[in-house]
Chains A and B, each alone.
Chain A
Amino acid sequence: MMVVVGVWIAGAAGAVSRYLISGWVHQFVRVDFPSGTLAVNLAGSLGLGLIAGSDPFESTLVVLAVGFLGGFTTFSTLMIETIRLGLNSPLTLLNLTATVVGGLALAAVGYTLTS
């Protein structure tokens, strides 16, 4: 039960962190590209890779992984922002490729570092 409540609270913390960090990144980068969402999804993939490589069943790490990183990273915003780039735009493919390939690579790096 403690883990469940911990996951809920960590999910809220993850969402707020995503909101603030993606906003900062987007303001800092200053291009019309969803750089904020890309940044949080890449960072979250690295973080979950690190946890998956260590001990993913330890309860603190479950709260961090399922709650915080689950709420920190997002798939729905990735989809809607990709569509809003315009399906004919080269940026669409760039956004998807950078997110998926980068996320996979960083998950692998994280996993390898801790396993």
Chain B
Amino acid sequence: MPTTGSLSRYLAKVRHRTRGLSSVAAVAAGGLLGSAARVAIGEWIPTSETGFPAAVVSVNLAGSFFIGFFLARRERSVGRRLSLQFWAIGVLGSFTTFSTFSVDLFQMLSAGRPLTALGYLAVSICGGLGLALGGQRIGAAIR
């Protein structure tokens, strides 16, 4: 698997080779677990009094780290394709979320809190990129 180039392109190739019900089942099972974990963490981490969505930030940052880590580990060993579909697309794909991020940003802006929105944006994107890169490095470094 190349370390540059889009994951979609790679996934499209994988998808081409493993069509069928088994890959859909792997994504569905992973999606169920990822969503359940996201909801559980959402209940566990309350939104702070300042209205900062700490739970969404936490799942998105943790998920970004683990997808970097997982894909780097996978490059070191010939994993099964279904494990990519289960973990990367199913579990981590559903654990993290973008729709809530967009709507949260909109609601912060329309509530007249542009600084909160800017902080949320910066922490999510810069933190997510940094953690995904860090996850990749750590995953590649571990024997």
Contacts and interface: CB of A to CB of B under 8 A. Distances in A.
Interface residues of B, number: 62
Interface in A27-55: 27, 32-37, 41, 44-45, 47-49, 52
B71 A15 contact: no
Given A8-B35, A75-B128, A16 B98 contact: no
Given A8-B36, A12-B32, A23-B12, A44 B98 contact: yes
Interface string A70-93: 111111111111111110000000
Given A19-B24, A33-B6, A76-B60, A100 B121 contact: yes
A47 B98 CA distance: 11
Contacts of B136: 83
Interface string B113-138: 00000000100110011011100100
Interface in B87-106: 88-90, 92-103, 105-106
A1 B31 CA distance: 19
Interface in B1-54: 2-9, 11-12, 15, 23-24, 27-32, 34-36, 38-39, 42
Given A15-B90, A19-B27, A32-B9, A76 B35 contact: no
Counting chain A residues whose Cβ lies within 8 A of the other chain, the interface size class is 35 or more
Given A19-B24, A77-B7, A86-B4, A26 B99 contact: no
Interface string B68-89: 1001000000000000010011
Nearest to B107: A52
A107 B106 contact: yes
B90 A79 contact: no
A83 B133 contact: yes
B35 A107 contact: no
B135 to A, nearest CB: 9
Of A33, A37, A104, the most chain B CB neighbours within 10 A belong to: A104
B8 A45 contact: no
6 closest Cβ contacts across the A-B interface? Answer: A11-B35, A15-B31, A103-B102, A45-B102, A75-B96, A73-B98
Interface of A: 4, 7-16, 18-20, 22-23, 26-27, 32-37, 41, 44-45, 47-49, 52, 65-67, 69-86, 96, 99-100, 103-104, 106-108, 111
